[in-house]
């Protein structure tokens, strides 16, 4: 049986936007959709008691699930939808649920400010630690460009992201844009070191083409554009996201004791991209 898409929901506008995105992707994939609402009693200092009628946190979770279920069925009536309430810490519960999911879909918990929209701690935590794709969605998203953008480099860590991006482009009947942004290493600015810029550009182009060519034969119907840019990856990917329906990135981050966290590029892109963002690790 196909693993479900799991979408976390708390009844917020962000969560409802994620519910609609998840319903569309479940329809594209032909897989079931499961909404999960996490009851976090620790956040309110409420001791754990057996469920009883009138429990305000359980009632809120049930209401959030009902709203998500209604939104999904209204948008994609043919998708099989189920719901689940779990007690625990939202970030940990949703991270663990990724093990049984095709992907996890979450809303961003936006905060205003001079830096633009900032993704909330739960979405950032799950995207940084869950194995498999995690999609973060903001309210107001639209599929209108017919293009998926994926960030690539010459590392193995981006392979799962490239595979996911090709599959998304195929499912959508759209095109794929692979963005390979590069910069000079710090030592390149030493006066005693010289570079042939044309040679450097050709080397970066070859690296990008090799990364994409591995997948072209598996997805021959997906049109691919390669953008090899001398730019910071965050700037290049954020700019590309303004004309994309989905931005896909890998993550290179590692924290203390080897625990996996979001890399700096993935974190920045989550905060500033103009479209839904999928963070994909193996």
CA separation, residue 145 to residues 77, 79, 177, 242, 244 (Å): 24, 24, 12, 9, 6
Taking the C-alpha atoms of residue 158 and residue 206, their distance in angstroms, rounded to an integer, is: 16
> Looking at residues 227-244, what average pLDDT do you find?
93
Taking the C-alpha atoms of residue 247 and residue 150, their distance in angstroms, rounded to an integer, is: 6
Taking the C-alpha atoms of residue 271 and residue 197, their distance in angstroms, rounded to an integer, is: 32
**Residues spanned by the domain of 1:** 1-139
Taking the C-alpha atoms of residue 267 and residue 169, their distance in angstroms, rounded to an integer, is: 23
Select from 95, 112, 139 the last residue of a domain.
Answer: 139
Q: What's the chain's length in residues?
A: 282
142: which 2 tokens?
A: 């639209």
Residue ranges of the alpha helices (H) in the chain? 13-29, 56-75, 90-97, 121-129, 159-172, 197-216, 233-241, 264-272
Write the CATH number for 174: 3.40.50.12370
pLDDT over 70, % of the chain: 81
Handedness of CA 162, 168, 170, 175 (dihedral sign): negative
Same domain, 25 and 74: yes
H or E segment at 228?
Answer: strand 224-230
Instruction: Read off the pLDDT of residues 41-92 as tens digits, 9 standing for 90 and up.
Output: 775 555 555 554 568 888 999 999 999 999 999 999 999 999 999 999 999 9
pTM for the structure as a whole: 0.86
Write the CATH number for 130: 3.40.50.620
Same domain, 193 and 277: yes
Mean of the per-residue pLDDT values for the chain? 84
Instruction: Read off the pLDDT of residues 99-114 as tens digits, 9 standing for 90 and up.
Output: 999 999 999 873 333 2
pLDDT of residue 21: 98
pLDDT at 190 over 60: no
Number of domains in the chain: 2
Least confident of 6-20, 112-126, 237-251: 112-126
176: which 2 tokens?
A: 């794929």
Residue 82 CB partners (closer than 8 Å, separation 6+): 4, 32, 33, 34, 35
Residue 6 CB neighbour total at 10 angstroms: 24
């Amino acid at each position: 049986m196909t693993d479900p898409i799991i979408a976390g929901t708390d009844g917020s506008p962000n969560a409802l936007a994620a519910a609609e995105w998840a319903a569309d992707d479940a329809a594209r994939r032909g897989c079931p959709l499961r909404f999960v609402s996490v009851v976090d009693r620790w956040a309110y200092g409420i001791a754990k008691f057996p469920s009883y009628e009138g429990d305000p946190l359980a009632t809120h979770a049930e209401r959030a699930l009902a709203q998500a279920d209604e939104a999904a069925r209204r948008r994609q009536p043919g998708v099989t939808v189920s719901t689940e309430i779990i007690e625990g810490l939202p970030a940990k519960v949703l991270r663990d649920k990724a093990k049984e999911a095709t992907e996890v879909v979450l809303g961003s918990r936006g905060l205003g400010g001079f830096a633009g929209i900032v993704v909330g701690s739960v979405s950032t935590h799950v995207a940084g630690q869950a194995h498999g794709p995690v999609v973060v969605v903001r309210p107001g998203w639209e599929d209108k460009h017919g293009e998926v953008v994926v960030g690539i480099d010459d590392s193995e860590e981006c392979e799962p992201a490239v595979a996911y991006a090709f599959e998304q482009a195929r499912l959508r009947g759209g095109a794929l844009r692979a963005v390979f942004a590069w910069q000079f290493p710090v030592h390149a600015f030493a006066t005693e070191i010289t570079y042939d810029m044309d040679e450097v550009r050709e080397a970066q182009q070859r690296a990008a083409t090799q990364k994409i060519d591995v997948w072209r034969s598996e997805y021959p119907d997906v049109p691919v554009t390669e953008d090899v840019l001398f730019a910071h990856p965050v700037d290049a990917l954020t700019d590309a996201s303004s004309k994309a329906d989905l931005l896909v990135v890998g993550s290179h981050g590692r924290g203390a004791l080897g625990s996996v966290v979001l890399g700096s590029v993935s974190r920045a892109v989550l905060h500033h991209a103009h479209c839904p963002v999928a963070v994909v690790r193996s």
